[in-house]
Amino acid sequence: MKLKPLIPALVIASLAPSAALATNGYFSHGYGTINKGMAGAGSALSQDSIAAATNPAGMAFIGNRIDGGVEVFSPRREYSVEGNPQQGDMLPLTPGTYESSQNGFAIPHFGFNRQLNDEHSFGVSVFANGGMNTEYPSTDGGPFYGGRTGVNMEQLFIAPTWSWQFADNQAIGISPVFAYQRFEAKGLQNFAPFSSDPAAVSDRGTDDAWGYGYQIGWQGEITDTLRGGVSWRNILKMDELDKYRGLFAEQGDFDIPQMFNAGIAWSGIRNHWFLLDVQHIRYSEINSVGNPLLPNLMTAPLGDDQGAGFGWDDVTVVKLGWQWQQSPEHAWRAGVSYGESPISDEDVLFNILAPGVQEWHFTGGFTRSLSENLQLSAMAFYSPAKEVTGANPLAADQTISLEMYQVGASASIGWTF
């Protein structure tokens, strides 16, 4: 799809975040300050106009409001190599520990919703995945002897949403989802001999692509104290990244995987909500992400349909959230989530570029009413260090360890009208 009119492109460029490795693979652990403060739980309980990112049906219950905010995000990532190169190794790495630079990023979000009548509402949610980002110095020639090395992937989503409250406290919603992504790779020129298009592997500058799909959902009351919600987003079909058609499988294809969300929210204790969500992300269906490095690197050139990828597995994330309405003006939140790393020990080599290994996330937040119509929300999170270690498959006697931890904070303003 070629959707690049000037004005939308300028809007997207102004909103697109400085990318970083997000938290569940390259998907964010939640969307919007309120949702993130409960570790991303919220399929059954929506509270702001970023809700369509999790469940479009939730927009039916938030009324007329506008929300805008920004997250400051800091991932600290490094890789280590042990073992000396041996004669006959195809790609031995230089032993040592190397840290990626660029440890601070800003990721914005924005939403709007208007109640059209008692049953129907229309809104727009704008949100981002942090994407993938690494930048390693040229020390010892760089990770793959190509000098300064790394990748930068950014993804932004625009989701216009129609929701219909078809019965009392029962709603469905649908969002056409428009996606924009941009990508750059540096220092990978030594992979060119393995490519179907050696000139389109590395150091081609930034390329971008538009894509589209949709997300549907249901949210509603099950009993007086229990709510439920489910949503599904299909694979977002993206234009190819033509400048890197010799790097990514399927000639530069980098579609965005489908995602499932399901959750419940219980309010059986006065002024408290307890939330449980399960999210499933199907990375393995996207060849450029899910194809393993080996044996694919030996059986199909980079850029072919079965060319090597990052070898990411599907991810299932369990999220627990809590909210306490201490007073009409003040609410407190906390959350914890866990999802197994998509990177297994046999895929560590290529994932030096994309060490999305995080598993646990701990969050807290609050909302404070500044006036009858104005709210300030904030949250902070910590994802403790996770390490994945495996053999270098292209060197006989080397092991590679990927490690990262993350911290972040977000603030947003909500205005009801």
Using the predicted structure, report yes or no on whether residue 2 has a pLDDT greater than 90. no
Q: Which helix (H) or strand (E) holds 336?
A: strand 330-339
Which DSSP category does 352 fall into?
G
pLDDT at 353 over 50: yes
Q: Give the 3-state secondary structure of 106-153.
A: EEEEEEEEEECCCCEEEEEEEEEEEEEEEEECCHHHCCCCCCCEEEEE
Please give the average per-residue pLDDT across 19-23, as a whole number: 58
Q: What is the dihedral of CA 340, 341, 347, 349, to 10 degrees?
A: -160
As to burial, measured by CB atoms within 10 angstroms (0-12 exposed, 13-18 middle, 19+ buried), residue 163 is buried
30 vs 24: CA distance, rounded Å: 9
Q: What is the pLDDT of residue 22?
A: 57
What is the band of 346 on the pLDDT scale with cuts at 50, 70, 90? Answer: very high
Domain 6-416 has CATH 2.40.160.60: yes
| Mean per-residue pLDDT, 216-233 | 98
Q: Between the CA atoms of 236, 239, 241 and 245, what dihedral angle is there, to the nearest 10 degrees?
A: 100
Rounded average pLDDT over 155-174: 98
pLDDT-derived band at 104 (thresholds 50, 70, 90) equals confident
Residue 4, pLDDT score: 41
| pLDDT band for position 262 (cuts 50, 70, 90) | very high
Residue 249: band (very low, low, confident or very high) from pLDDT cuts 50, 70, 90: very high
Residue 335 has pLDDT above 70, yes or no: yes
For strand 259-266 and strand 272-281, is the pairing parallel, antiparallel, or unpaired? antiparallel
Residue 353: which of 409, 286, 400 has the closest Cα?
A: 400
CA dihedral 347, 338, 179, 49 (to 10 degrees): -170
Task: Compute the average pLDDT of residues 316-330.
Answer: 98
Q: pLDDT tens, 287-314?
A: 999 999 999 999 999 999 999 999 999 9
In whole angstroms, give the CA distance from residue 154 to residue 20.
8
Q: What percent of the chain has pLDDT over 70?
A: 94
Residue 123 confidence (pLDDT) above 80: yes
Position 23 scores a pLDDT of 82
336 with 390: CB under 8 angstroms?
Answer: no
The pLDDT, as a whole number, for residue 131 is 62
How far lies 403's CA from each of 140, 179, 338, 378, in Å? 20, 29, 17, 28
Q: Is 70 exceeded by the pLDDT of residue 178?
A: yes
Q: Are 284 and 235 in contact (CB under 8 A)?
A: no
The Cα 308–Cα 137 span in angstroms is 24
Q: What is the structure's pLDDT at 18? A: 46
Does the pLDDT value for residue 137 go beyond 90?
Answer: yes
- Per-residue confidence at 130, pLDDT binned at 50, 70, 90? low
What radius of gyration do the chain's Cα atoms show? 22
Average pLDDT, the chain: 93
Angle, CA 401 vertex, CA 95 and CA 31 arms, to 5°: 135
Please provide the distance, in angstroms rounded to a whole number, between the alpha carbons at the two ends of the chain.
37
Residues 40-91 pLDDT 10s: 999 999 999 999 999 999 999 999 999 999 999 999 999 999 999 999 999 9
